[in-house]
A and B are shown apart, each in its own frame.
Chain A
């Protein structure tokens, strides 16, 4: 029998028991829907996170103190004090890292800022005058601090838009002094609204020269990060090697496994974060897949009932010349059509549901969440549902195909 006719025959078989077919399909619909939702939201989360990472330019290299984390659970040692002023000087030397175009040390932490009786919990960010360029941030009023401010440990601060609103309300902030750790800092600039960049919300930040931050706010003599810009993307690998060599020499390290720092490029970071969301998505999708197995067992159950009910039909078809393969493909196709329909419905439900969730996340919760519907998830969903039909339909279909025509015809 041709495939087209097997298909028609299978479809007719399903139409006879419409409501039963529909209920059986439901199990697959739920399974596929949940997989699609998990995958779409996973992809959305990944886009969001990678978007954050790309807030820093693609030529950016970050030098982090402490040992490199070996796995997702191995957090970097933020409090390691291995990056010092002399490391900064060494890295700045052209002979050490020729492809380095910019380097900016940063220190950061949280503390309370006060203006008069108003207080606000700030993210304090000590950086150099390169901060505007490296993080691509701009001011709505005033100016950034200069190289001289950094050198002279000037008591100046550039505040985020939210900080300004919280501490000053609608009154003028420029030239006013806010108190952080009992040090009065003069407001010289206010940032334009920016939102989250690289997991850092500049709207809630106070930017001060790193020298000022080290000396007066945090009381430390080391840095939390070096942000390095390479001259070009092509020179990133060489720059990474140069930075490593320079720092190892400065720290007297012979064995790279004893490094007390590590270097991360934006690509590394994207890969690391990507693998975290990938694993999370995979885990959630596998949980959702369990419901597919349950749905598949439902299919198998109904197909077995159907094969028993239609024993005489099977006997008749065999008597009229149907081969075992004809009968096998008829019943196999019935279950694949069932799960295929379930798959298509599940994919559309999943797409609709993940769109709704994306909409809620982006509008109601104001997260920069874009609806992302991975075509790969749709194809996977369709493939998986067909595979479920094949796997769970095979046993009932074989039962049908192997029936003896005479016994089947006598079945009451």
Chain B
């Protein structure tokens, strides 16, 4: 409502190390998405401070923040957000357009990213020809094409059946373990959250609990050749 301020995040302090796999859980309205958006440079706190790699985000200009999103962050959304009538290859290439990666490397990077999510055979298909799970894997390829520090995933399995969801989570887990990408995942499914190494539970904009996952599960490895 206009004129009424809603406090999305309140009295929250969080430290995330490079290479972590963090799951943020909480009921809707708990502020988990807002937190993810702030961590992913999509939103700025009205009060308080966010430091990324030791530097205050408030000190960056709009341009620099756009650059941060491009270079340091890769986003995976619940709704996939692929460009329609645009091939998988072109969709994955999109972040490179805004990057300072040399143009001669774009095709190579995009192809590698598509291959790494197992969609080489879908390279020139359009999103409308793909299943939900495949769409999300394209989105993951797009998120990692710029080799970002952090991959932000907002309910990546929310729109998928469990089998596709599992496959998507396997890829995300592997990105963290094998390539060392920091992964920050928002989910409301305990099953999905337990794939992470650390779970932050939120309620009413506050951190309710912050625990390491003791018995970490491996997403079953359907995907290994």
Chain A residues with CB under 8 Å of chain B are 1-2, 5, 9, 12, 16, 312-313, 315-326, 405-406, 409
Contact = CB atoms under 8 A, between A and B. Distances in A.
Closest 3 CB pairs of A and B: A321-B70, A321-B98, A323-B66
B71 A316 contact: no
Contacts of B69: 318-321
| Chain A interface SS verdict (over half) | helix
B85 interface: yes
A9 B62 CA distance: 22
Interface string B141-153: 0100010000000
Given A16-B85, A326-B98, A405-B42, A320 B70 contact: yes
Given A405-B42, A406-B43, A320 B83 contact: no
A324 B37 CA distance: 18
Contacts of A405: 42
A316 B98 contact: no
Which residue, of B37, B62, B69, has the highest number of chain A Cβ atoms within 10 A?
Answer: B69
Contacts of A323: 62-63, 66-67, 98
Interface residues of B, number: 26
Nearest to B43: A406
Interface in B18-48: 37, 40, 42-43
Given A319-B75, A322-B66, A409-B81, 7 more contacts: A316-B81, A317-B98, A320-B70, A321-B69, A323-B98, A405-B42, A406-B42
Which residue, of B86, B94, B98, B142, has the highest number of chain A Cβ atoms within 10 A?
Answer: B98
Given A9-B97, A406-B43, A320 B75 contact: yes
B99 interface: yes
A330 to B, nearest CB: 10
Contacts of A313: 83
Interface in B103-132: 103
Contacts of B81: 312, 315-316, 319, 409
Contact of B94 (A312, A317, A324, A409): A317
B97 A1 contact: yes
Contacts of B99: 321
Contacts of B146: 321
A313 B82 CA distance: 8
Contact of B98 (A1, A312, A315): A1
Contacts of B37: 406
28 contacts: A1-B98, A2-B103, A9-B97, A313-B83, A315-B81, A316-B81, A317-B98, A318-B66, A319-B75, A320-B69, A320-B75, A320-B142, A321-B67, A321-B69, A321-B70, A321-B98, A322-B66, A322-B70, A323-B63, A323-B66, A324-B63, A325-B63, A326-B98, A405-B42, A406-B37, A409-B77, A409-B79, A409-B81
Contacts of A320: 69-70, 75, 94-95, 98, 142
B62 A324 contact: yes
A412 to B, nearest CB: 10
Contacts of A312: 81
Nearest to B33: A406
A210 B74 CA distance: 96
Interface string B45-72: 0000000000000000011001101110
